[in-house]
């Protein structure tokens, strides 16, 4: 009898334990799958949210393949630099369908991230990043190029073509964390890299946080983007060149006080510098917050014949202002400004330089040419185009930012260039609703509400 009683007690304990450990009722215990690429790419496949994916090395979505990623899926990448770096690359002709949601964003992060604080928010360069390559046009003589960060011997790293309506798929509600590993000679992969991406691609609600390089870098093409949250980047928040002619509306950019570079770096051509189509994107409703007065980076730099139209935006907390390159006897960004291919319209600047037009707006020349006349012209232009030095009432501290403006941001708005843009009655990326709340790591970590 004593033995029977012991057996009965043990059975009872086992039953209780089994009830308490039923999978899916109280916690998720996903299977794990390591993704490697030996040339075959991912194939046409769906990555599911109940599987834990580990990317090892460079993994491509090959030409003709479609990678679908379910809402709520977490993709982790192995650490490593140089030839051991890991990244996901959608090759030209491939397609990614990554449609997350505000309740179930798709997360790209580093292996070992439990999403509960095991990796510090500001940790950078732990894996590569997400690279999308398309068939839209560039302004270089060859018509196509090889994306930085991918070895030249890899043919799937080529981008660019003739189809500005090219469609690489859908990126929606993605959080890209801790990216930007060094692949050699100081060459880092960005959080999100777009090479020759066409306007048929859907890109909205994208977070890049703690990239060791740029938040988003765009090489040519016509990509259109809305609702970007780019924070704590090791280099620039937004970087574009070689003929980017896309659109962007609603962007929050935040630099750390100790790291980071420009808020926007805009370059034009490279081979040749005078190549067309010009880099001439339309960037509206940006809220960009710099490093503060201790930094030495520019708010924006326009060089190598770059154009672009920045309007209805707010720029805060940066030691240096806007710099436009002038080269005597050569095509240059100041010439683009005078011809209307570069414009600054109805923007607010506050705590930039010393809060004067003379300290915010500059023309520079690397050849030592006197540019006083050009600088005076630029300052007058910025005044005439309703740019202002005024406090929008955005709260900025070392540990918390409220991006919703409290002061007058409603006057002298620039007209929208295309029906793609949402009509607003305010400057900056926010009005009374914080679209970055909840689904971003920036919000979850308490840096914004």
Q: How many CB atoms lie within 10 A of CB 57?
A: 17
Q: Per-domain residue ranges for the chain? A: 31-443
81-139 pLDDT, tens per residue? 888 899 999 999 999 999 999 999 999 999 999 999 999 999 999 999 999 999 999 99
| Contact call for residues 322 and 343 (beta carbons, < 8 A) | no
| Contact call for residues 252 and 217 (beta carbons, < 8 A) | no
Which backbone phi and psi does 345 adopt, to 5 degrees? Answer: -135, 125
Closest by CA position to 235, among listed 298, 151, 323 = 298
Which backbone phi and psi does 132 adopt, to 5 degrees? Answer: -120, 125
Q: Which residues contact residue 17 at a Cβ distance below 8 angstroms, ignoring those fewer than 6 apart? A: none
What percentage of the chain has pLDDT greater than the value 70? Answer: 93
Strand extents, DSSP E, 23-157: 31-35, 45-47, 51-55, 58-61, 66-69, 74-77, 87-90, 95-99, 106-110, 130-133, 145-146
235-287 pLDDT, tens per residue? 999 999 999 999 999 999 999 988 899 999 999 998 898 999 999 999 999 99
Q: How many CB atoms lie within 10 A of CB 45?
A: 14
The answer on pLDDT for 30 being more than 80 is no
Enter the DSSP assignment of 182: B
Structural class in CATH, domain 31-443: mainly beta
254-266 pLDDT, tens per residue? 999 888 999 999 9
pTM tops 0.85: yes
Q: Which residue has the higher pLDDT, 124 or 152?
A: 124
173-201 pLDDT, tens per residue? 999 999 999 886 667 899 999 999 999 99
| Contact call for residues 316 and 357 (beta carbons, < 8 A) | no
Q: Report pLDDT for 12.
A: 39
| Contact call for residues 180 and 189 (beta carbons, < 8 A) | yes
- Separation CA 327–CA 375 (nearest Å): 13
Lowest mean pLDDT among 11-15, 128-132, 150-154, 413-417: 11-15
DSSP per-residue letters across 100-120: --SSS-EEEEETT--SSSSS-
């Amino acid at each position: 009898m004593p033995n029977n009683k012991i057996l009965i007690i043990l059975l009872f304990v086992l039953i209780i334990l089994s009830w308490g450990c039923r999978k899916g009722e109280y916690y998720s215990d996903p299977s794990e799958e390591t993704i490697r690429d030996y040339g075959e790419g991912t194939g046409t496949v769906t990555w599911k949210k109940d599987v834990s994916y580990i990317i090892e090395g460079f993994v491509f979505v090959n030409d003709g393949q479609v990678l679908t990623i379910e809402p709520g899926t977490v993709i982790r990448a192995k650490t490593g630099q140089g030839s051991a770096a890991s990244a996901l690359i959608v090759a030209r002709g491939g397609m990614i369908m990554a449609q997350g949601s505000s309740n179930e964003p798709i997360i790209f992060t580093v292996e070992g991230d439990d999403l509960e604080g095991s990796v510090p928010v500001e940790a950078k360069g732990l894996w590569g990043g997400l690279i999308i390559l398309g068939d839209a046009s560039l302004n270089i003589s060859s018509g196509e190029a090889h994306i930085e960060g991918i070895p030249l011997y890899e043919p799937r790293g080529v981008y660019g073509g003739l189809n500005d309506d090219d469609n690489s798929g859908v990126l929606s509600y993605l959080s890209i964390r801790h990216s930007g590993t060094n692949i050699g000679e100081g060459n880092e992969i960005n959080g999100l890299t777009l090479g020759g991406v066409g306007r048929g691609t859907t890109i909205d609600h994208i977070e890049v946080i703690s990239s060791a390089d740029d938040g988003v870098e765009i090489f040519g093409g016509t990509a259109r983007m809305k609702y970007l949250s780019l924070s704590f980047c090791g280099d620039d928040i937004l970087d574009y060149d070689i003929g980017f002619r896309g659109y962007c509306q609603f962007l929050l950019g935040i630099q750390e006080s100790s790291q980071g570079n420009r808020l926007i770096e805009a370059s034009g051509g490279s081979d040749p510098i005078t190549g067309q189509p010009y880099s001439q994107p339309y960037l509206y409703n940006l809220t960009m917050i710099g490093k503060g007065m201790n930094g030495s980076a520019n708010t924006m730099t326009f060089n190598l014949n770059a154009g672009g139209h920045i309007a209805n935006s707010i720029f805060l907390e940066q030691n240096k202002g806007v710099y436009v390159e002038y080269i005597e006897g050569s095509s240059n960004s100041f010439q683009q400004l005078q011809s209307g291919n570069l414009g600054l319209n109805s923007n607010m600047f506050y705590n930039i330089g010393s809060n004067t037009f003379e300290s915010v707006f500059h023309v520079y020349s690397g050849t030592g040419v006197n540019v006083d006349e050009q600088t005076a012209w630029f300052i007058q232009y910025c005044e005439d185009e309703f740019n202002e030095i005024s406090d929008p009432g955005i709260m900025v501290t070392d540990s918390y930012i409220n991006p919703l403006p409290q002061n007058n941001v409603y006057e002298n708005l620039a007209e929208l260039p295309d029906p793609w843009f949402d009509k607003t009655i305010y400057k900056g990326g926010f009005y009374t609703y914080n679209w970055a709340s909840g689904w971003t790591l920036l919000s979850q970590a308490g840096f914004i509400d």
